Amino acid sequence: MKRSFILLMMLVMTSVVAMSQYRFLGVVTDEQSNPLPGAAIWLDESLATVTNNQGRFEFSEINKGVHALKISFLGYEMLAQDIEINADVNLEFKMTQKWHLTPEVIVSAYRAGDKAPVAYSNKSGNALRSLGTTEDLPYLLQLMPSLVATSESGIAVGSTAFRVRGSDPTRINVTVNGIPLNDSESQGVYWVNMPDFSGSVQEVQVQRGVGTSANGSAAFGATVNFRSGADTTEPFAEAVSAAGSYNTFKNSVKMSTGLINDRFSFEGRYSNVQSDGYIKNAFANHKSLYLSGTMHFASSFLKMNVIHGDQRTGISWWGVPQELLKIDRRYNPAGVYTDINGNEQYYKDQSDNYIQTHYQAFFSHAFSLNSDMTLALHYTRGDGFYEQYKEGESFADYALPNVEVGDQTVETTDLVRQKWMANDFYGFVFSGNQQAGDFLKLSVGGGWNRYDGDHYGKIIWARYASNMEKDYEWYFNNGLKTDYNIFTKLDFDFGAVSFLLDMQYRGVDYEMSGFDDDLNSLDQNHSFNFFNPKAGFFVTVNEAVDAYASFGVANREPTRTNFKDANGDPDAMPQAERLFDWEAGTGFKSGMASFNVNLFYMLYRDQLVPTGEKSNVGYDIMTNVEKSYRAGAELQWGIRPVHFLRWDGNITLSRNKIENYVETADEYDADGNALVRITPLGTTDIAYSPSLVVGSSLAVKCFKGANVTLNSKYVGEQFFDNTSSNDRQLDAYLVHDLKLSYGFTPAWMKQVEISLMVNNLSNLKYESNAYGGNWYEEGVEQTWAYYYPMAPRYYMGQLVLKF
């Protein structure tokens, strides 16, 4: 902590300000003074930036004199004028609208607006990418309030995930351009299947809590909405190359035609990310492709996207056993086996392999300046498998007869198996917005989606082959899930006070058929119908202060894994969950600082909480608890005391409790006989729910084009089961990442940027995640646990060329 404080002071004190240079600040709006985020700004054809989510931009250290300014935004007339600068200036620029829709209309019905009574954070794609070099999306988002990122590989590349307010990825609704991204059966999002997607993001909004209605799975912790694309009227090209520790490399190219003949625009991006990972065999070999084309009409546009990911990743979901954590933090038990000579070997193809392609088509039409609609069709194809070497597997477990060798019967064999998934996800979503007068806005939307997924297993090699054929298939099952919803939002805006009424109806039909890998039947059907209302108000006290409050209800169905875990046991069949969410907050903003405080109370009925154990494919094993809650406060701030220094941060303080929790554990007597021990524990902490989470970003502009940013993340102690036992607890950690960047503009291109990232600056040894459980031997509690250690200090360098 002392070294971190000294570093902070050094960053502040090393800034040099030239007295003859000035700041040029501005805001870009439409004719009604609504901000235009993502507008492109050029100064003297050499300096360039884009407006943030409030439509604001800034150039610092501008020389005295007259400068040529040009502003471009899709759907608006180009603005060009000369600006005289002889002091710091702050100006507003109004754009004149052409009869074009902008792609932002695609997500407008799902996103929280400026006066929405919900807790949310926005970030532009450029701001997101500026936080790192090769990092996956969970780590680029980790500075948002209440968000905790985790990794299986030990670095921010590979199998990564995040939680918000302690809620795991299966409880966070994620959409891309309003289309559901969550896997229908697990309800999770696997960012490993969306490699380097951050490079194609235009903006992202994270709503905490229930949030506003959206398509797809229920939001039990947060809603994350991505909008892809570049949204630029000017052509550009960009090449990015990065390299660093653990043989980590990223190379990507991105380009756009801009607007051609005021009618067409095309863009594309290709990326390749490779890494050995910190954990042994936690390698990553990821490729991605993004293609988009838009045809603009007088009052409409037709847009098509292709988002493709191809990943091969070393299996690391087992973690490091607690007994080896201090001996070999990089140990990976996946793939370790003993050959026929008794020597330990490593199966190098112990890997997860998946190809996923998203196809999206949008048609948006404006009936007038106050009325628009969007219809989207989507189709996603996914194919993949993970491969494992398994020792001493019983033939009976694979529906195979034993092998007779002479007068001996062989009942087990070593083998290599693959577990496959092949699925189709398709459907449509729609939305419409109507402004009725000056005070009422009506938004309607919904969608219908179907998932058809096959699960099957193959044996591709065996030491003793029994009577199996090549690629013998020992199980096959199918999941067919239909999800549909419709919602209506009413925004009443009376100036100082506005009200939101949001009502969603959602239906789910899920059918499982066939046999699972344990040869037990999975045949079952489940149907759910949910009504999810939300309401709230927003008060503008004055130009500097506002406040809001809201209440929302969300319902959520169990996942495929939840149903599988209870298969054959009616008493263990999981129940649907319900969440009652109260939110209230206030905000203050001035020219130098902004502050926001949000209070939340989330009351759950029958919440499915992780037991601390995992299935054999890395899924959390869950159980319903009758009553639980999350309550806390979130504080955000942004402070700019001088023009070369900015500090953004957030703190979350929370209580996350299960009432009347009952522990169920195995107990072994002196003879080794197993019994079931049931222990009422009263009120306990919900697993994976730290009571204190802090994010901080301190940015210093040292001189023209040179920036130093120190990003810090503190995550408090958290338990990885629900017993509140100190034996099953992750220690708190404070991690700093330092980024040094320098950008300049040569005559032959728009910009060159060189950056260096020092991750885990203080060289801390810590674990971002863990799982485990307990048992009893003759009345004495024992613990088993696996941890996910993170890498000590490591480095990444990056070169960005913009044309």
Q: Which of 209-213, 380-384, 734-738 shows the lowest per-residue confidence on average (mean pLDDT)?
A: 209-213
317 SS3 class: coil
Q: What is the DSSP string of 708-747?
A: EEEEEEEE--EESSSS--GGGEEPPEEEEEEEEEEEE--T
Residue 611 has a pLDDT of 62
Residue 127 lies in a domain: no
- Read off the pLDDT band of 111 (50, 70, 90): confident
Distance of CA 492 to the CA centre of its chain: 32
CA–CA distance, 764 with 389 (Å, rounded to integer): 34
Is-contact 660 682, C-beta < 8 A?
yes
Strands in 65-72's sheet, in edge-to-edge order, are 47-50, 40-43, 65-72, 79-85
Residue 581 shares a structural domain with residue 440? yes
- What's the chain's average pLDDT? 90
CA pair distance 165, 583, nearest whole angstrom: 13
**What pLDDT band is residue 98 in, cutting at 50, 70 and 90?**
low
Tokens of 780: 């004495």
Give the three-class secondary structure for 115.
coil
Residue 655 maps to a domain: yes
pLDDT given at position 130: 92
pLDDT band per the 50, 70, 90 thresholds, residue 283: very high
The SS3 assignment for 571 reads helix
Q: Tens digit of pLDDT for each residue in 218-230?
A: 888 899 999 998 8
> Which amino acid is it at 564?
K
Confidence of residue 620 (pLDDT cuts 50, 70, 90): low
Beta-bridge mates of residue 787: 320, 770
Task: Report the CATH number at residue 328.
Answer: 2.40.170.20
Q: pLDDT by residue (tens digit) across 21-59?
A: 788 999 999 887 888 887 888 888 767 788 887 888 988
For residues 225 and 205, the answer to whether their CB atoms sit within 8 Å is yes
DSSP helix/strand/coil, 643:
coil
Q: Residue 17's pLDDT band (boundaries 50, 70, 90)?
A: very low
pTM for the predicted model, two decimal places: 0.88
Task: State the CB neighbour count (10 A cutoff) for residue 153.
Answer: 28
Residue 568: per-residue pLDDT? 66
Whole-number pLDDT of residue 173: 95
Residue with tokens 């759950």: 604
- Asked whether the beta carbons of 745 and 47 are under 8 A apart, the reply is yes
397 three-state secondary structure: helix
614 and 763 in a single domain? The answer is yes
- Judge whether 348 lies within some domain: yes
Domain end position, chosen among 37, 70, 98: 98
CATH code, domain carrying 3: 2.60.40.1120
Q: Rounded CA gap, 29 and 71, in Å?
A: 11
Q: Quickly state the pLDDT bin for 590 (edges 50, 70, 90).
A: confident
Buried-state track 444-470, b at ≥16 Cβ within 10 A, e below 16: bbbbbbebebebbbbbeebebebebee
What tens digit of pLDDT does each residue of 378-403 get?
999 999 999 999 999 999 999 999 99
Asked if 712 and 734 count as a contact pair (C-beta separation under 8 A), the reply is: yes
Distance CA 435, CA 440 (A): 6
pLDDT score, position 669? 87
Tell me how far apart the alpha carbons of residues 336 and 145 are, in angstroms, rounded to a whole number: 39
Pairing type for strands 248-256 and 236-244 reads antiparallel
> Is residue 502 very low, low, confident or very high in pLDDT (cuts 50, 70, 90)?
very high
Write down which residue in 98, 133, 156 finishes a domain. Answer: 98
Region of poorest pLDDT, from 413-422, 473-482, 530-539, 564-573 = 564-573
User: How many domains is the chain built from?
Assistant: 2
- Residue 551 has a pLDDT of 97
Neighbours of 92 (CB within 10 A): 11
The Cα-based distances of 111 to 91, 202, 508, 553 in angstroms read 28, 14, 23, 18
Tens of pLDDT along 572-586? 788 999 999 999 999
Using 50, 70 and 90 to split pLDDT, how confident is the model at 14? very low
Q: Which of residues 76, 98, 120 is at a domain's end? A: 98
Residue 258 domain flag:
yes
- Is there a contact between 313 and 765 (Cβ–Cβ < 8 Å)? no
Are the C-beta atoms of 28 and 102 separated by less than 8 Å?
Answer: no
Asked if the structure places residue 652 within a domain, the reply is yes
Query: Residue 719: inside a domain, yes or no?
Result: yes
For residues 300 and 294, the answer to whether their CB atoms sit within 8 Å is no
- What is the Cα–Cα distance from 233 to 703, expressed in whole angstroms? 31
Regarding whether 625 and 479 lie in a shared domain, the answer is yes
Residue 345 lies in domain: 226-802
How far is Cα 708 from Cα 702, in angstroms, rounded to an integer? Answer: 7
Domain assignment of residue 92, yes or no = yes
Question: What are the counts of helices (DSSP H) followed by strands (DSSP E) for the chain?
Answer: 4, 46
Q: Is residue 135 part of a domain?
A: no
